[in-house]
Structure 1
Amino acid sequence: MGQSHPPFDRTKGRRTTGSRVQGRHLVRGIRRWVTAAAGALALTGGLIAVGPQASAAGLTQVTGFGSNPGNLSMYTYAPDVLPPGAPLVVALHGCTQSASDYYAHSGWPKFADRYGFALVLPQTSSANNANSCFNWFEPTDSSRGQGEALSIRQMVDNAVARYGSDTRRIYVTGLSAGGGMTANLLAAYPDVFAGGAVDSGLPASCATTVSAAYTCMYGPPDRTPDQWGDLVRAAAPAGTTSWPRVAIWQGSADTTVRPANATELRDQWTDVWGIGQTPSHTENLSGGTTLAVYDDASGRAAVEVYSVSGMAHGLAVDPGSGAEQCGTTGTYYLDTICSTYHTARFWGLDGGGPDTGALPAPTGLTVTGTTDTTVALRWDAVPGAASYTVRRGGTKVGTTTSTAYTDTGLATGTAYRYTVTAADPAGTEGTVSAAVTATTTGFTPTCHTASNYDHTAAGRAHQSGGRTYANGSDEPMGLWNTFTVHTLEQTAPGYYVVADSGCPA
C-alpha cells in the first residue's frame, strides 16, 4: 500500500510516533473535532467524520501504486469488457464513508458498466484524519505534488497504465470533504482532469486551516469572482490556459455546507473560464432540481450548477432500475435525483458505451417553433427506428413514432434543453442526440429596486447566514438588511440577476 504515515496531531500541528503518543493524540483529536461540531454535526457530519463500511464486492484493492505520501488506499472497478482508450473516473467518498460505501451507494458502477469506463475510488482513514475525511483544508495534502493530492495523482497514473485509459478523458468527483478535495484537485491538476463534479462541497482553496474550514462551510468568504479565480490560477501550473469543465451539486436545505458555497464555486469556475456569472440557460429537472448552465465561447457547457430544492447535506441519488436512476439511499445518500447520471452525461461519458443501444443518434434536431407555453421540434429519421423518445433536461416528456414532437404546458419566457433517442422494435434506445435549446415566448423582463430585506420579503431574493442572494441566479447581494439597496432584473420566471449598472427593462 505504499509508505505509511503516523496520525496527524491536530492539537500540535505535527506528526507523532509511538503507540502511546499516537493513541493519546488520536483520542484528543477525535474529542476536539466532535466537541467543536456538536449539535450541527459540522465537519463530523459531512466534512472533517468513521462509520460502517458496505461490502467491497466488485472492488479491487491496488497496492504499490506509488510512493503514496498521503497514506491513502487505492480501490478500482472496471467492467468485464473495457475497450482501450476508455475514460477514467476518480470518485472520492465523504466523511464517515469509505471507498466500498461510495461504490455501493453512489451509482457510479452502473454507469461504468453502461458507458464503458474504469473507476478509481481512493480511501483515507483515521490515521490521516480523526474522522476519515480527505484533508481538503490542509495545503500540505491538497496542493499539487503534495500529500493526499499526490497520492491520488499516482493512482491515476497506475489506473491509466492498468486499463489503457484515455488521458484526455480523466474526471474526478467527490462528496462533501471529497468535494472539497475535488475542487482542489481540479485547481492543482488541470492538466490531468478534463472535468470534475463537486457534490455538497466547497471552492478550491477556500480554507487552509481547520478553523477556516468551519467558516467556509457555514459562510464562505464573499470574494469577487476574480478573487476566487485567482486562487485556482495560483494553484495550477504557470501558464495554464485549458481548464476542466465543472458540475456543482448543492441541496438548498444543506445546513452543513451552506448553499452559498455553490454560488462561490460557480463564481470561481466561471471566472476561470472567463464566461461571466449569468447562465446561458436554465432547466427544471426531476427531484425538484434546477440546472443553470454556463456555456463557453463555443456554446458548450463549461460549468453547470444543480440546485436540489429541499435536499439536506449529501449526494443526490434516485434508487431504481430506470435509465436515469441510480444508487441506494443511506447516510448522506439522499433520494432526489441521480446526480451521477447527469454528471456522466455532462462529461460526455454517454457517447458510445456498450449499453447505449444499437441505433445511432438522431441528427438534425431542430426547434421549429415556440409559443408562450409550447416548443415544437423535428429531427431526421433513423433507419430501423420504431419510435423516438424526447427528453427535456434529461427527463422523458414524450414518445412518438413520427419525427416531430410538440412539448406543451411550459412556463413563459423560459429556456429548455431537448434531446432525442431512437428505439428499435424491442424498445431498446440508441445513442442520445445532440441537444438543442428553445426559449418560450411571452415573458417580459421587469426591474425592481429595493433593499435586500424588501427583495427577500417580496420573493426576489433569499438570505442565508445573514447574507442575501438573488433567487434563481444566487448572485451575492451583501448583508441582509434594510440599508443595502440593489436593482434586480427578472429575466425569467423566478430568475433574478443583479442589474445595478443599468436595467434594460
Structure 2
Amino acid sequence: MGFGSNPGALKSKYYRPKNLPKGAPLVVVLHGCTQNANAYNFHSGWSQLADELDFALVFPEQQRANNANLCFNWFVPGDIRRDNGEACSIRQMIEAAVVAHGLDRKRIFITGLSAGGAMATVMLAAYPEVFAGGAIIAGLAYGSASTIPEAFDRMRGHGGPSKAELQRLLNEASPHNGPWPRISVWQGSADNTVVPSNADAILSQWQGVHGVGKAPTRTEEVDGQARQVWCDTSGRELIEKYTIAGMGHGTPLNTTGDDGLGRAGPFMLDVGISSTRHVARFWGLAKPSVRRPGKTEPASGAALQTFTQAEKPRAVHIDPTPEPQPLNARGSAAGITKVIEDALRAAGLMR
C-alpha cells in the first residue's frame, strides 16, 4: 500500500496486532542513527507492548541515500518544515495508517531516540494538532540547529538558541492555536553524545506553550530514577522528565521481570527502567502495573510490514486532515490503496 508522494524519500514500516479494534491508538516510533526500524522495534519492545495494549505502530525508516549514518535529518531546514521533506513524509505515513486501519485521530503519539528523538520534536512542533503526546529520548529541541556543524555543537551542549528563541521557534512552526501535546523527556546523566543540557532546552521550549514555570510541580523516584513532573492547575500532567543516573547514550530498558520488555543492544541500555512502558503509561495507553498476561516475548522485527511510496517525491502543501474514510467493503489491496490515496489528496498530503 502506498503512503503518499514521500518528498523526504523515507521508508515506512508498520505493525498491527491481530484483531486490533477500530479506533485504536497509533504510536509512531523513530529509530536513532545507525539503526533501522526492525532492530529498534525488537530491542525497545514496542510491538510487544502493542500486542498487550492494542495499539498500532508506524516506524519511519531512514535511507543511506539521505543520510550515510541513517540519522533522520532533524537539522536540515528543508526536512523540518510543516509541508516539506522528511517531516511531510512522516505525516503522510501517519495519515495512511489512520485511514487503512480506522485508527483514532485523537490518540496519535510519537517517540524517538537521539536523531529520532530530535525528529520527534520536529513532528510535534510542525504538526501539534496531530499528536496527543510525544516522548523524546536523548533528543534535541526543535530548530536548535540548521547545519551539520551546528548539529554537532548542540549535541555537545555548545551554543544554541535562547529560551525565548526556542519558544518562538516552536510557536512559529505551525498555525496551531489549540491544546499542545503532552511531552515526556528522557536523558542519561552520563550521555556524552547528546549531553543533558539538550533535555533542559527541550523543557524550556515546551514549558512556554504549556504555560508552566521552570520549577517542577513535584519530583519523585520511579524505579530508582528521578522523575520531575509539570502539571496544569487541575493537576493534569503535561510534561515529565526522567534523568537516568549514570546512563550513557541510548534508550532506557528493563528487560527482566514481569514488566520486562525488549532486549539490550547497542544504544539500547538495560538500566532497570523501561522507557517504553512508562511512556505508554504517561500517554494513558496503560494503567500502572497492568498488563495483559501471556505476552512475554518481544515480537520479531520481521513482523513489521512495509508501506511503499505511491508516487515519485515532489513538493506538496499540507492542509487540515479530513475525518477517516471507510475502507473498501471487500478490503482488496487495490481498494485500500485507492482509499488511502483519496484521503491523502483530500488532506492536501498528496497531489
Shorter-chain-normalised TM-score: which range? 0.7 to 0.9
> Which residue is equivalent to 1:335?
270
Is 1:282 paired with 2:226? no
Single out whichever of 213-222 and 63-72 deviates more from structure 2.
213-222
**Corresponding position of 1:158:** 96
How does the TM-score come out when normalised to structure 1?
A: 0.56
Report the counterpart of residue 127 of structure 1 in structure 2.
65
Deviation at 1:226, TM superposition (A): 3.1
- TM-score, structure 2 normalization: 0.80
Q: How does 1:181-260 map to 2 (within 5 A)?
A: 181-221=119-159, 223-237=161-175, 239-260=176-197
Secondary structure class of the residue paired with 1:235 = coil
Return structure 1 stretches of 4+ with deviation > 6 angstroms: none
Aligned runs of 1:365-444 on 2, under 5 Å?
A: none
Once the two structures are superposed, the pairs formed by residues 30-109 of structure 1 within 5 Å of their partners are: 63-109=1-47
- Give the share of equivalent positions with the same residue, in percent: 48
In structure 2, the partner of 1:346 is 282
Aligned equivalents of 1:294, 1:184: Cα separation in 2: 22
Q: Which has the larger radius of gyration?
A: 1
Offset at residue 272 of structure 1 (A): 1.5
CA distance in 2, matches of 1:66, 1:241: 27
CA distance in 1, matches of 2:16, 2:178: 32
Provide the aligned length of Structure 1 versus Structure 2. 291
Amino acid at match of 1:82: L
In the TM superposition, residue 225 of structure 1 has moved relative to its aligned partner by 3.3
Are 1:79 and 1:112, in contact at CA under 8 Å, matched by a contact in 2? yes
Gaps of 5+ in 2: 294-351
* Cα deviation digits, residues 295-351 of structure 1 (max 9, x gap): 02321111100000000000001112513x212110000011100011000000015
**Does the Cα contact within 8 Å between 1:206 and 1:220 map onto a contact in 2?**
no
Q: Which amino acid aligns with 1:130?
A: A
Q: Measure, in 2, the Cα distance between the counterparts of 1:223 and 1:123.
A: 29
Match of 1:137 in 2: 75
| Structure with the largest fraction of helix | 2
**Deviation of 1:162 (Å):** 1.6
Counterpart code for 1:269: W
Q: Deviations over 1:360-400 (max 9, x none)?
A: xxxxxxxxxxxxxxxxxxxxxxxxxxxxxxxxxxxxxxxxx
Looking at secondary structure, tell me which structure has more strand per residue: 1
8 Å contact from structure 1 (residues 327, 338) kept in 2: no
User: Are 2:218 and 1:268 aligned?
Assistant: no
**1:294 & 1:222 partners in 2: Cα distance?**
24
Q: CA deviation at 1:241?
A: 3.0
For structure 1, the residue ranges without an aligned partner over 5 or more in a row are 1-62, 358-505
Once residues 327 and 70 of structure 1 are traced to their aligned partners in structure 2, the CA distance between those partners, rounded to angstroms, is: 29
Which of 232, 238, 242 is equivalent to 1:306?
Answer: 242
Question: What secondary structure is seen at the aligned counterpart in 1 of 2:21?
Answer: coil
For the aligned residues, what is the CA RMSD?
1.6
Superposed displacement of residue 129, structure 1: 0.5
Q: Could you tell me which residue of structure 2 aligns to residue 470 of structure 1?
A: none
CA distance in 2, matches of 1:155, 1:351: 28
Corresponding letter in the other structure for 1:186: L
Q: Deviations over 1:446-493 (max 9, x none)?
A: xxxxxxxxxxxxxxxxxxxxxxxxxxxxxxxxxxxxxxxxxxxxxxxx
Decide whether aligned partners of structure 1 residues 298 and 225 sit closer, same or farther in structure 2, where only a CA change above 3 A counts.
farther
Q: In the TM superposition, what whole-angstrom CA distance separates every residue of 1:76-105 from its partner, at most 9, and x where no partner exists?
A: 111102111110000000011001011110
1:220 touches 1:264 (CA, 8 Å); kept in 2?
A: no
Amino acid at match of 2:182: R
Kindly provide the amino acid, as one letter, of the partner of residue 347 in structure 1: W
Q: Is the 8 A contact 2:8 2:84 kept in 1?
A: yes
